[in-house]
Amino acid sequence: MRYLSTRGDAPVLEFGDALLTGLAIDGGLYVPERWPSLPRPLGVYRDLPYVDVATDVIWPFVEGSGPGAMSHDELGAVVEAAYAGFRHPEVAPLHHLVGGDPAGADEYVLELYWGPTLAFKDIALQLVGHLFEHELHRRRATVTVVGATSGDTGSAAIEALRGREGIELVMLHPAGRVSEVQRRQMTTVTDSNIHNVAVAGTFDDCQDLVKAMFGDRPFRERMGLAAVNSINWARVAAQIVYYVTTAARLEADRRPVSFTVPTGNFGNVLAGHVARRMGTPIERLVLASNRNDIVTRTHASGIMENRGVEPTTSPAMDIQVSSNFERLLYDYWPGDRGARGAGVAEAMTEFRATGRLELPQPVAAAFSAEFDAGAAGEEEVSRTIAEVWDRDHYLIDPHTAVGVTVGRRLGLAGEVMVELATAHPAKFGDTVERATGIQPELPDHLADLMEREERLVELPDDLAVIEEYVERVCRR
């Protein structure tokens, strides 16, 4: 399998290079040159363990990456290691809800939060961490990963890279502007390759510092800078798997099974789209937004328009632009490879300059035909959390509640509707408590989080100081 940039003007890469490169040099995102088919009939996956299905489904994206590249067995070992730390043997288990609208769909919640940081990002990042280690070992190379976090994704990256050979991680967060639980999830990790920096500034300042480090070419090359950002293809590949295991388990080859996906950067639901392209029978794919609803507005109107972002109780979905949407645009864009790359490049440049993009008619038509979409307001979200607790005695977090709200609104009698649970309720315990009166408990492995020792440095918002620090702690 080879990888092309969505903007058509970057080198064609093998899997390992696409993994380590992240963003293409033309500003595009790497996509596989074609969609592979599921290696085996869906029914075969019904009785296989998660890691076996994962190895099978991810293999076509890795296969044939040049001499010395990963073998099927090596991928199997990497996948096994990635999911060994999950606290549920099924990795992504289903929970049946019985208290919904009896005239609606048969409703399941797909729990994607059994990884170390209690959010679905672990499913992708745990695999990416192990893939990075494998690929770097093979090349006898080392990297320094630098990242900025507003609180949520930092801990998933730290848990993914802690103790990984050949990798140093420096994570910047804005001092005093992340919650105590979020900070402690990052700063209590004591592995020697993890370096937390509290920057005297805002999240935007942290992000600017990371961009400036990447822009400082001599520094970038000297340190071997790398990123594990949301646009890495391997993250999407990892997320395809649970659509396949769920479709197999619920016998989607014999009855209609639909999915509702709480959506921010469009990575999760894009994986559902690819699962479908690979032949997984998915009846409907439903996008669910909170009130930052650029994706659902684009779905309804064919016009993508940036209107700024307002804070909600589901902060991981508070986005202005869904970066992975570019991969869907590329998939739908008419014409040959050259025309598609040029078209997407022009469209993204226009959107960046004006904050507005009218999708070409065939693109808008395909998007509208292959997805359904809805948005949920803050009151509805709170009401859904309360309703699910009252009728099913089951706690859901506010991101999941956006999905359940929209899934219930659009679910049809006679279909199975799977709503993706993207965070553990304890991760957003205060919102859950306001809706239900119940404060969800942190799982055992985090129960003593507030007593653990923290390790971090506080530094000014000053590029020279930050670079000097990175150079000092990451020198080998």
Ligand X SMILES: *Cc1c(COP(=O)(O)O)cnc(C)c1O
Query: Is the CB of residue 162 less than 8 Å from the CB of residue 228?
Result: no
Nearest residue (CB) to ligand X, 76 versus 262: 262
Taken in order 75, 78, 82, 85, the sign of the CA dihedral is positive
Which secondary structure element, helix H or strand E, spans residue 95, and what is its range? Answer: strand 94-97
Nearest residue (CB) to ligand X, 144 versus 289: 289
Q: What is the largest CA-CA distance in the chain?
A: 63
Query: Is the CB of residue 322 less than 8 Å from the CB of residue 340?
Result: no
Residues 6+ apart with CB under 8 A from 346: none
Could you give the CA distance from residue 76 to residue 52 in angstroms, rounded to a whole number?
7
Question: Pick the catalytic residue: 59, 119, 121, 148?
Answer: 121
Nearest residue (CB) to ligand X, 245 versus 422: 422
Nearest residue (CB) to ligand X, 258 versus 268: 268
- Report, in Å, the least distance between residue 370 CB and ligand X: 17
Could you give the CA distance from residue 29 to residue 230 in angstroms, rounded to a whole number?
10
Nearest residue (CB) to ligand X, 267 versus 411: 267
13-14 β-sheet, strand order: 13-14, 2-5, 30-32
Q: Are strands 356-358 and 257-262 parallel, antiparallel or unpaired?
A: unpaired
Q: Helix axis angle, 50-62 relative to 72-83, nearest 10°? A: 130
- Report, in Å, the least distance between residue 421 CB and ligand X: 9
- Report, in Å, the least distance between residue 113 CB and ligand X: 8
Which secondary structure element, helix H or strand E, spans residue 129, and what is its range? Answer: helix 121-139
3-state helix, strand, coil in the chain (%, to 5): 50, 15, 35
- Report, in Å, the least distance between residue 300 CB and ligand X: 18
State the residues that interact with ligand X by CB under 6 A. Answer: 119-121, 152, 262-268, 316-317, 399, 422-423
Nearest residue (CB) to ligand X, 8 versus 262: 262
Could you give the CA distance from residue 39 to residue 45 in angstroms, rounded to a whole number?
10
Nearest residue (CB) to ligand X, 182 versus 258: 182
Query: Is the CB of residue 406 less than 8 Å from the CB of residue 374?
Result: yes
Could you give the CA distance from residue 416 to residue 106 in angstroms, rounded to a whole number?
5
What are residue 473's phi and psi, to 5 degrees? -80, -20
- Report, in Å, the least distance between residue 22 CB and ligand X: 16
- Report, in Å, the least distance between residue 418 CB and ligand X: 15
Active site residue 121: yes
Closest CA to 144 of 127, 155, 132, 154: 132
Q: Which residues are catalytic?
A: 121
